[in-house]
A and B are shown apart, each in its own frame.
Chain A
Amino acid sequence: MKYKKKLFFLSIIFLILFLLSEKKIFFQFSLLDVFAFLFAFFLLLYSIINLFFFKKNNLQISIFLIFILFFFQALRLNNFSFDNLTKEQQCVNRNIEYEQNKDNQNLEDDYINACKNFRE
């Protein structure tokens, strides 16, 4: 029962983090970025305060934090679609896909289409 509660709590937090990562609020920055920055900043302060005043250790919180770190890394590096790249880099990327598989007609069409504004 004890673990079920913790797991539920963890799942809710990760769900919130995931939802925060969906909406871009400022250029390509999402609420998750702001949350992660503030979270890290307060954790930094907490670590110093804890060292001098609270002097508490908690292994479970440490493991939870490692999960947060993993989740944040995963979202930071994967939470984007092809459309989030600039038109210029979309063209470059279509070029790469085409060069890697020159026999594929669809890739060639995509490539020509993506680069029509940049190539004569």
Chain B
Amino acid sequence: MIIFQFLNVIFEKINPRNQHYVYFLFLFNLSIQILILTTLPLSLSADSFHYLQIAQDLDITELFRVSLGTRAIGYPFFLYVLGSKSFFGATLIAFVQSILTILIPLLIFLFLDRYNHLIARFLAFFISIFPYVHYMSTQIMSETLYIFLLVACLIYFENFLKNKNVISFIYIITLFLLVSLVRPTGQLFFYLFGFTLFLILILRMIKLKLFIVLLMMLFVFFKIFNFQHTEAAKSKLTFLAWRQVVVSFCNINDPLKINDIKNSQWAYTPNKANYFVIKKDKSEMDERELTYIFKEKCVNIDNPGKNTKKYINILIEILNDKDDPLINILTSKLDKKGSPDKKDPEYNNLKPLEIIKKVHQDYVNPLPFMHIWWRMADNIGHKDRNKIISGVIMETLIKRPKTLNVHLKTILKNMTLFHCKFKPISDIVNCFRLKGSQSYSDIFYWRFIAHPYKELKNQNANHLLRINNKINLQNIYTLEKLMGDNLNHLYKKDTPIWKKVEEKLYKKNYPLKRYLNEGFNLGMFSSKIMWYLNNIFFHIIKAVITIFLPIMTLFYFIKKIYTKIKITEKDCLALFFGVYAYVSMFTSVLFFWDPRHIMMHFIMLLPAISIVLNKEK
């Protein structure tokens, strides 16, 4: 009965006026889903393996004993319930994700229809042809479920604002809990909702008694989320900040050092792969390398401040206590997955302090520092580790505020459209050029496919042993099937498989049709089309979130204040989800650049877009 009432909130939005379009959206999205399923593989990336491993370790009788790392339990549980451990493999998961993808634009339309029918049609159609929403259903990633739940939140939050009773509150708070269990970013809803409830009370829209009951329920639901929220997940942002700050370069201020570099024939500079700092003859350096010669690491290990000194001392203690994994990692060369490969002779017979100094000087890649982060937690606990590392980060940022300069410049470059040169006209095309990104290569992902010429244990492929082998077979079969005839040139003894695949995938000046003409490589052909289309959509979204929406919102509220029109419930809803979207996007853009986070949260801005586009305000 309660489920029927719950679903009825959606069903009652369908009326004779909008049912044709609902049916159109259903057919349209279903056909796109089938088209995508015929041309894209079931793809597993690094995150997929982690989700599947957690699902594999899940046991319904001991649900909260599983090790989640930085993940939340929601998506692994979804995989588990849909049979990721059974003979179904990924079959039911892929099917349910397809259904959710079909429902996303449909629910968006039903929700926005109340704002303006025509705009609702337009925005729902925009989401229907948004490649990202569609191709994510072919991957074992939390996005599809997350976006679906976010869209459901729009409808049930509106329902709560309309009814303001306990039942509608339970619906929406359950959805907020589910969102945060799928991606911890969702916890922001609890804070925003607490504030909203307080606002509703001040505006006398609910009684104090009801407010207290709702607040207590909000607290209970937040506690449920917190119960599964691991220490590692809680400190994820500090970890990401550490990863940025510890490898940042700052200008050398010491005139003596600058003079030495000027007088010397060689200097230190990051190597071509941007992995190590190397000593190189200045005359042999290229333009990029020359920009680094008067720079050093921002974290000052040679002349440390109070907090950095504390960090060094703790690390020395850990190394003196013979923490073998850490000693092994810091004194070895690391492979492409970040695991120790073989001993680095340059680290032989070095004392702990010398090892720390050398690691900090040598690495541009954050991998060893990530290991330091993890090993510190094992030795001194998460809380103390966070305190010490936060201290180092703050101290570095205060002493050298330019630490994040390069990072911020990259963010600005990635986010704005102003770096495009519009003259000559032909350069506009460059603005929409295809940029490589992890989220794009995930569509047709071969990096975790094992090589037959080496034993699994010798190629660090243990991830394959920790998931249901059926899913692994489904992944391999669909990948190989879509490679067409190119499969015959893929497995070479001395070359990693992914390297051969990516050589072809990232080939420059290689026309799309050649993927089909030369060996019928349907996988790469359709992945590339998805990339191109998605890139155009991504630029439109960037323009909307950085230019269109802020300006239009400003005008909208100025007009409201000027004409003394009351702020409506619709405005409150748009603000609520707008704040959620912008905070989530800003956090992810600041800490780790990934276009996926922009695209997945864009949907939360649709109410605001709908309002500012609507002439009948």
Contacts and interface: CB of A to CB of B under 8 A. Distances in A.
B456 A99 contact: yes
Interface string A3-41: 000000000000000000000001111000100110111
- Chain B contact-residue range equals 35 or more
A18 to B, nearest CB: 15
Interface in B451-504: 451-453, 455-457, 464-465, 469, 472-474, 476-478, 480-481, 484-485, 487, 491
Contacts of B474: 77-78
Nearest to B475: A77
Nearest to B137: A73
A40 B27 CA distance: 9
Interface residues of A, number: 52
Which of B453, B465, B484 gathers the greatest number of chain A CB atoms within 10 Å?
A: B453
Nearest to B473: A93
B480 A47 contact: no
Contact of B38 (A37, A51, A82, A91): A37
B94 A89 contact: no
Contacts of A28: 477, 480-481
Interface on chain B toward A: helix, strand, loop, or mixed SS? helix
B24 A50 contact: yes
Interface in B419-461: 449-453, 455-457
Given A43-B34, A44-B35, A93-B473, A62 B456 contact: no
Contacts of B404: none
Contacts of B35: 37, 40-41, 44
B548 interface: no
Contacts, number: 141
A70 B95 CA distance: 6
B223 to A, nearest CB: 38
Contacts of B456: 92, 95-96, 99
Interface in A56-106: 56-58, 62, 65-66, 68-70, 72-74, 76-78, 80, 82, 84-89, 91-93, 95-97, 99-100
A78 B91 CA distance: 8
Interface on chain A toward B: helix, strand, loop, or mixed SS? helix
Contacts of B21: 51
A82 B476 CA distance: 11
B98 interface: yes
A119 B455 contact: yes
A96 B481 contact: no
Contacts of B491: 86, 88
A26 B520 contact: yes
A55 interface: yes
Contacts of B33: 40, 69
Nearest to B457: A99
Which of B42, B98, B477, B478 gathers the greatest number of chain A CB atoms within 10 Å?
A: B477
Contacts of A74: 91, 95
Contacts of B161: none
Contact of A47 (B27, B38, B520): B27
A95 B455 contact: yes
A100 B34 CA distance: 35
Contact of B27 (A65, A97, A119): A65
Given A44-B31, A91-B452, A27 B481 contact: yes
A96 B33 CA distance: 32
Nearest to B121: A51
Contacts of A78: 89, 91, 474
Contact of B37 (A41, A76, A82, A91): A76
B20 interface: yes
B164 to A, nearest CB: 33
Which of B34, B35, B450, B487 gathers the greatest number of chain A CB atoms within 10 Å?
A: B34
B90 interface: yes
A82 B38 CA distance: 21
B20 A51 contact: yes
B32 interface: yes
B99 A66 contact: yes
A119 B90 contact: no
A93 to B, nearest CB: 7
B531 to A, nearest CB: 20
A47 B452 contact: no
B301 to A, nearest CB: 42
Contacts of A82: 473
A78 B92 CA distance: 11
A92 B545 CA distance: 46
B218 to A, nearest CB: 36
Contacts of A72: 34, 37
A73 B480 CA distance: 17
10 contacts: A28-B481, A40-B32, A44-B32, A69-B98, A69-B99, A78-B89, A82-B473, A86-B487, A89-B480, A92-B464
Given A36-B38, A40-B32, 16 more contacts: A27-B520, A40-B34, A40-B38, A41-B31, A44-B35, A50-B23, A58-B23, A69-B95, A69-B98, A69-B99, A73-B95, A74-B95, A76-B38, A85-B473, A89-B480, A92-B450
